[in-house]
Amino acid sequence: MAARRRLWHGLRVARTLWATQYAYMLEYRAEIALWALSGVVPFIMLGVWSAAGTAAQASGFSQPELARYFLCAFVARQFSVVWVVWQFEEDALQGRLSPYLLQPLHPLWRYVASHQAEQATRLPFVLVIAALFFLLQPLAFALPGPGRALLGVLAVGLAFAINFLLQSLIAACCFWTERASALERLLYIPYLFLSGLVAPLESFPEPVRAWALRTPFPLMVAFPARLLSGDPFPTGPHALSIAGGFGAMALWIVLLVPLLVLVWRAGVRRYSAMGA
Amino acid sequence: MGRYLRSLRRFWGTAAAGQMEYQLNLLIELVAMAGNLAGSLFVLSLFFRQGEGLGGWSWPAAQVVLGAYTVLDGLTSTLLRPNLSRIVTHVQEGTLDFVLLKPIDSQFWLSLRTVSPAGLPELAVGAGLMLWAAPQAGASLAPASLVLALVLLAAAAVILYALWFVLAATSIWFVKTWNATEVLRAALTAGRYPVSAYPPALRTLFTLVLPVAFLTTVPAEAILGRLHWHWGVASVLVAALALVVSRLFWRFALRFYTSASS
């Protein structure tokens, strides 16, 4: 009985959070559209990769597959972008964090809700960009089967979760240093080069790929992009597979959640409000 | 003129002294630069694994282009980002009024008020990469081609500056244009590769609409000693035009400035 009431209460809190954050994000539609556009890097890289024909073919990509891969990498990135560290840093510096900490709701849930609201605002822009892309590259047009599409959406959601957990871990460093966003820059570099955003993992030399697959980065872009594209997964040693990818994602989440809880608790104990 | 040079020395002296307070930030910048360069070289090397090359550029020649990109990126961190990102804040908070009241040219003040030494190592490493890779690509590094490369890099810097400044100046109408500069930054990463590495449609786009070709490919060809003279002339002309346009655009924008909260 008590459990059911708590679940009910949780749902109501979530609905209110989503509704307010969505209304807030709608105000910033134009900015979010520009932000969606600033993810053009996969399209630029598609240009280089398709002009350098043999390098792509040697990685097992036909031209339409390559185009689909980079489009899906763009989509995966759009819905797993995380900016919690900047928001959190600002809230901490401006003193807004103190009232949040007093509320009977973990502050991170508020950020989760605002990220999800922002993704909902982004959706129409991403659909327009994808439609334009297929108009320009009609040969690349193909939709994944319903099963693959569902798995793809699930993978994007989990990629967002891993990204969010990693960045929150850095954000929690705000309790110790005021400029945690500088640390985020360091996390972004391996993400950019190893996630599959600028080059498909299949084009990496064997040892680098084996090493990259031990990091969470390929799970954030390359894996969901492959699922969304509907194209078959590559075979051979050191290759991502559907089961392996989801297993690794679960493992990272199981690892990161307790770590974040511990760091957060230690940080709050150390926290002594800005300017107070 | 002398007054402007004296002001500049004061501006940068205080800014550098302020930045030196944050040594940890400097260290993080250094690590980030090394990581970025290593990653860019790695991705570039992926195109050369099959031995075909990138748009007719050899591996060392493509590194020269990456070097030019690194130089401009360093310049962006040193001068453009610290200064031009503040225009938005000035408009938003109404402090642009104070800038306009100063007895000094407002575009000069806004563009060169501060400097961030954290970007200097990147500038040096980019120049080093250009000088190291060019002889391997068969360049003789004759003084004439070095001077030409330097002039064209300066022209590239002016073009880059004008693009950023015009975009930042639109904040007079739209207030929040920070994300627009992010779009520009993302699109400019195309300069990591020679412009001939792109399909024809993008090549046209990167030459005529978004002049990425003038930013990195043209200076790289100059240091390699294989620049067609008309590209060099075009680059300088585009730079001059960009500077004039940024000037006129700022004058035009100011006519619409009505200060915050009024």
How would you write the pLDDT of chain B (262 residues) with one tens digit per residue? 788 888 888 888 888 888 777 777 778 888 999 999 999 999 999 988 876 678 889 999 999 999 999 999 999 989 998 888 888 888 888 888 888 888 888 889 889 888 888 888 999 999 999 999 999 988 888 898 999 999 999 999 999 999 999 988 888 887 766 778 888 888 899 999 999 999 998 999 998 888 999 999 999 999 998 888 899 999 999 999 999 999 999 999 988 887 765 4
pLDDT band at A274 (very low <50, low <70, confident <90, very high): low
Q: What is the torsional sign of CA B148, B153, B156, B161?
A: negative
Put simply, the answer to whether A38 touches B36 (Cβ < 8 Å) is no
What residues of chain A lie within 8 A of the CB of B46, using their CB?
55, 199, 203-204
What residues of chain A lie within 8 A of the CB of B32, using their CB?
185-186, 189
The CA–CA distances, whole Å, from B43 to A99, A133, B53, B62, B66 equal 46, 24, 13, 12, 11
Which of B24, B39, B183 minimises the CB distance to A192?
B39
Higher pLDDT, A79 or A1: A79
| Mean of pLDDT values over A135-145 | 86
State yes or no: pLDDT of A209 exceeds 80: yes
> Which residue from A minimizes the CA distance to B201?
A47
Put simply, the answer to whether B42 touches A192 (Cβ < 8 Å) is no
ipTM for the predicted complex: 0.87
Nearest Cα of chain A lies from the Cα of B260 at a distance, in angstroms, of 19
Residue B261: CB atoms within 10 A of its CB come to 6
| Mean of pLDDT values over A84-112 | 86
Residue A254: CB atoms within 10 A of its CB come to 9
Residue that is written with structure tokens 């679940």 in the block: A7
Residue B261 included in any domain = no
Quick one: A168 exposed, middle or buried, by C-beta within 10 A (0-12, 13-18, 19+)? buried
Residue B199 included in any domain = yes
Please tell me what DSSP assigns to residue B177: -
Look at residue B262 in the predicted model and tell me its pLDDT: 46
Residue B260 included in any domain = no
pLDDT averaged over every residue in chain A = 88
Put simply, the answer to whether B52 touches A54 (Cβ < 8 Å) is yes
| Of the listed ranges A174-183, A199-208, B182-191, the one predicted with least confidence | A174-183
| Of the listed ranges A7-16, A49-58, A243-252, the one predicted with least confidence | A49-58
Per the structure, the complete domain to which residue B243 belongs is given by 2-254
Higher pLDDT, A57 or A157: A157
What residues of chain B lie within 8 A of the CB of A58, using their CB?
49-50
Residue B179 included in any domain = yes
Residue B216 included in any domain = yes
Interface with chain B: mutation pick from A38, A61, A121, A217, highest number of B CBs within 10 Å:
A38
| Mean of pLDDT values over A18-24 | 89
Look at residue A273 in the predicted model and tell me its pLDDT: 59
pLDDT band at A50 (very low <50, low <70, confident <90, very high): confident
Provide the token pair at B148: 């030409």
Provide the token pair at A68: 């689909």
Which of A39, A54, A186 minimises the CB distance to B31?
A186
User: A52 and chain B: CB distance < 8 Å anywhere?
Assistant: yes
Angle at B112 between CA B106 and CA B116, to 5 degrees: 145
List residues in chain B touching A: CB distance below 8 A.
Answer: 22, 24-25, 28, 31-32, 35-36, 39-40, 42-43, 46-47, 49-50, 52, 54-55, 174, 176, 179-180, 182-183, 185-187, 189-190, 193, 197-199, 202
What residues of chain B lie within 8 A of the CB of A200, using their CB?
none
Look at residue B141 in the predicted model and tell me its pLDDT: 85
- As for how many domains chain B has, the answer is 1
**Domain edges within chain A:** 2-270
Residue B262 included in any domain = no
Put simply, the answer to whether A204 touches B46 (Cβ < 8 Å) is yes
Buried residues in A228-249 as b, exposed as e (16+ CB within 10 A): bbbbeebeeebebeeeebbebb
